[in-house]
Structure 1
Amino acid sequence: MSHTLAFAAHSTTSPLVPFALDRREPGPRDVQIEILYCGVCHSDLHTVRDEWGGTVFPVVPGHEIVGKVTAVGSQVKKFKAGALAGVGCMVDSCRTCASCQEGLEQYCDVGGTIFTYNAPDKHSGGVTYGGYSNRIVVDEDFVLHISSKLDLAATAPLLCAGITTYSPLRHWKVGKGSKVGIVGLGGLGHMGVKFAHAFGAHTVLFTTSASKVADGKRLGADEVVISKDEAQMKQHLGSFDFILNTVAAPHNLDAFLTLLKRDGTMCLVGAPDSPHPSPQVFNLIFRRRALAGSLIGGIPETQEMLDFCAEHNITSDIELIPIQKINEAYERMLKSDVKYRFVIDIATLAAKS
C-alpha cells in the first residue's frame, strides 16, 4: 500500500481537513499517477454535503485529475512513466454490457459505473477516494492521455466540465447551421459556449446577470440574452435547434422549452439537489420538442474531446488555489464567485495547513 496525503470531509457539516489514506500498489493493468492539479466541481460540494444522498464518510472528492505517470503495471501498454495523464469521473465499469461495449461506460448496465470517489472500491473493499490527494492508481483503460500543448492546470476541468458539455453537443450533432442556446455561465456553461462556438454553431448564452454579457461574448457567444427579460426571450421564440441547460438549481424549464423549434431538444446536464418544476406537456407535444439529459461521456469520447481541445487550444477559465482554501472555495462557488472553475494546486498538500 502507498501512503497518500489528501483532504477529506468527515460529516455533512464539517470542513474538509487533511487526511491520510492508503492507495493500492499498481497491479498488472494499473497506472499510478502523481496528481498535479484537480478541478473543483459542484458535484464535489453536493457529495460532501450529502445533498444527493448516499455519501460515505470520510469522503475525498475530486474527479478532474491531471498529473504525471510514476509507475505502470507489467501489462500496461498505453502509458509509460513520465507521461502526462488524466482521470475523470470514472475508474471502472463492468466492461461487458452493451453500453460498455459501445464505449459508453458512464451508462454501464451491469453492476454500474465505478465513480472516482464515493463508489464501491472492488480492490480495497471500501469506497473510492478522489483527486483531492497527491496520487491515485487507476486501471489503464480509465486513464486518459493529456497533451503537453495546453496549460495543465486549465486542462483539469475538461475531465468533467469539458466532457459534460462536449458529449451532448456532439450527440445532437451541433455544428454549422445550428442555432444553439447555452443556459448558465458557470463551470459547465462557459465550456458549453466555447465548444458550441468551436463547432461553428450560432451560439446564444442565457444568463440572469447583465454583468456576464461581455464575458459571454469573449468566450464565444454570438448573442447574450438576459433570461429574466421577457422581451428579450420573446425575440427567440421557436428558433433554437438545441439548448444545453447547465444550471444546477431548480428553475422554470418552460421558459426555455418554448424557444425550441419543432423537433428541437433541450438537454439538462446540471444536477439540482431537488427537482425542477414539472414542465407543461403542451410545450412539448405541440412542437414535438424533446426534453433530455446527458451524463458526462465515455472514455473514447473523453479522449476525443481532449484531443479536440489540444488541436483548437481550448481550456477552462480557472482560478488556481492552494488546497488549504478549499472550504472558502466551496462557499464562493455557492455564490457563483469564480470565473469559472477552481483548480487545486496539489503541490500545496505538502504545506502545513
Structure 2
Amino acid sequence: MSKPRAYSVKAYSTPGAQSPLATFSISRREPTDNDVQLEILYCGVCHSDLHFARNEWGFTQYPAVPGHEIIGRVTAVGGKVKKFKVGDTVGVGCLVDSCRTCPDCRAGLEQFCPEMVMTYGSTDRHLGTPTLGGYSQGIVVSEEFVLRIPANLSLAATAPLLCAGITTYSPLRRWKVGPGQKVGIVGLGGLGHMGVKFARAFGAHVVLFTTSPGKSADAKRLGAHDVVVSKDEAQMAAHAGSFDFILDTVSAKHDLNAYINLLKRDGNLVLVGAPNEPLPVSAFPLIMRRRSFSGSLIGGLPETQEMLDFCGQHHITSDIEMIRMDQINEAYERMLKSDVKYRFVIDMASLK
C-alpha cells in the first residue's frame, strides 16, 4: 500500500521538553478511502498534554503537538466513508486507530489494544511518522474513530468529554453506579467535576472529597449532596464503611488507604488519576471486607459514543474556561496550580 500524500496545517508545537509551545507547520495525510478530514474548532487542554509536552512520561518525540479533546467540522470524507458527511460536527478523543482484530478491539475496548494508536505520541500507520494532536487547524482520522456530537450541546464545553468525560463515565457505568448507592468522588478538578455530574445523573447519593473547604459550594452546585474535607479526620471517620463505590481522580500523592477504609463490604475504589509515584495500599483493609481496588482507562469507541449520547439526553457538559491558542503556555502553568474551573478549552479559530 502506497503512502497517502501529505499536506500542511498550522499547529502549536514544542521542539523540546524545556521549550514553550509556539506556531509551527505540520503535515497531515490526505484522506484515504476510510478517512474523515476535519477542521478543528475547539480543543480541550488535559493534564496529559502537559506531561507529554514536557516528556514527563519519557516517550515524547519532538516536535510534539498535544491535544486529544477535539471538536471539529468535517471538511472531506473518503470514498468508502458511510457515517459522516461534509459539514457534520464531530469529535475525536484519545485514540485514532487500533489493530481492529484483537480480543480487546472486538469487544469495543480499543483503549486496551496492544497496537492502539493515540492521537499524539504514537505512530501514524499511513505516514510512518509520529501522530500529532489537536492543537492544530485540522486532522485526518479513520471513520471508526470519529464520534457524533449531540446537536443540543455547546461545542466548546463538549470538547473535554472526549477525555475527562469518558474517563469518569466508564468506571461509573462498569460498576453499575445508580440509585440507592452512596458514591464518593475524590478531587474536584477536570476529572472530578465530571465524576460528580455523572454520578448524580446516574441517581446515586454523591459525596465529594476535597482538601479545600472552599470548594464545598461549587461541589454542591455541580451535583454533590455532601462534601467531606479529607484532611479532617473526624469527617472522614463519620463515613467509615459506608460507600458502595469511590472514584479517585487525584494525580498527586495521597493516602489511598483512607478511602479504602470508607468502603462497605464488597465496595470498590477505582483510580483514574495517575500519580507519578507508587502509592502504598495496605492488605488488611481489602481482605477483611472483601473490598476491591482497581484502575480504569478512558473508554472504547462504542462506550464513548454512548457517553456523548447520554450527555445529550441529560444536558451534561464540562465547566470550561475558553482561551486563545497563544495562551496555552500560561494555561499550563495555571493548570499546575489548579487555577482553572474546570477545564481549559482552546478556541482554535485563534490559531488562524
- Aligned partners of 2:125, 2:17: CA distance in 1, in Å? 25
Deviation per residue, 1:202-248 (Å, 9 max, x gap):
00000000110000000000000000000000010000010000001
- Aligned partners of 2:155, 2:76: CA distance in 1, in Å? 20
Structure 2 unaligned regions, length at least 5: 1-5
Query: Is the partner of 1:221 in helix, strand or coil?
Result: coil
Within 5 Å, give how 1:79-158 maps onto structure 2: 79-109=84-114, 112-158=115-161
Query: Is the partner of 1:162 in helix, strand or coil?
Result: helix
Within 5 Å, give how 1:1-353 maps onto structure 2: 1-109=6-114, 112-276=115-279, 278-350=280-352
**Contact 1:205–1:221 (CA under 8 A) maintained in structure 2:** yes
- Give the aligned residue type for 1:149: N
Query: Is the partner of 1:232 in helix, strand or coil?
Result: helix
- Aligned partners of 1:42, 1:232: CA distance in 2, in Å? 30
1:147 Cα deviation (Å)?
Answer: 1.6
1:2 Cα deviation (Å)?
Answer: 2.0
1:252 Cα deviation (Å)?
Answer: 1.1
- Aligned partners of 2:151, 2:257: CA distance in 1, in Å? 43
- Give the aligned residue type for 1:299: L
**Contact 1:180–1:240 (CA under 8 A) maintained in structure 2:** yes
Deviation per residue, 1:151-190 (Å, 9 max, x gap):
1000000000000000000000000011100000000000
Aligned residues: 347
1:19 Cα deviation (Å)?
Answer: 1.1
1:25 Cα deviation (Å)?
Answer: 0.6
- Give the aligned residue type for 2:62: F
Query: Is the partner of 1:332 in helix, strand or coil?
Result: helix
- Aligned partners of 1:115, 1:275: CA distance in 2, in Å? 24
- Aligned partners of 1:272, 1:61: CA distance in 2, in Å? 20
Query: Is the partner of 2:150 in helix, strand or coil?
Result: coil
TM-score (norm 2): 0.98
Query: Is the partner of 1:319 in helix, strand or coil?
Result: strand
Query: Is the partner of 2:197 in helix, strand or coil?
Result: helix
1:107 Cα deviation (Å)?
Answer: 0.7
Deviation per residue, 1:82-122 (Å, 9 max, x gap):
0000000000011101110010000114xx21100011111
- Give the aligned residue type for 2:120: Y
Percent identity reads 67
- Aligned partners of 1:91, 1:161: CA distance in 2, in Å? 17
1:274 Cα deviation (Å)?
Answer: 2.1
**Contact 1:5–1:133 (CA under 8 A) maintained in structure 2:** yes
**Contact 1:51–1:273 (CA under 8 A) maintained in structure 2:** no
- Aligned partners of 1:113, 1:337: CA distance in 2, in Å? 32
- Aligned partners of 1:233, 1:135: CA distance in 2, in Å? 48
Q: CA RMSD for the aligned pairs?
A: 0.7
- Aligned partners of 1:175, 1:285: CA distance in 2, in Å? 25
Structure 1 unaligned regions, length at least 5: none
1:273 Cα deviation (Å)?
Answer: 2.1
- Aligned partners of 1:312, 1:261: CA distance in 2, in Å? 29
1:255 Cα deviation (Å)?
Answer: 0.7
- Aligned partners of 2:278, 2:127: CA distance in 1, in Å? 35
- Give the aligned residue type for 1:206: F
1:272 Cα deviation (Å)?
Answer: 1.8
**Contact 1:46–1:273 (CA under 8 A) maintained in structure 2:** no
Query: Is the partner of 1:165 in helix, strand or coil?
Result: helix
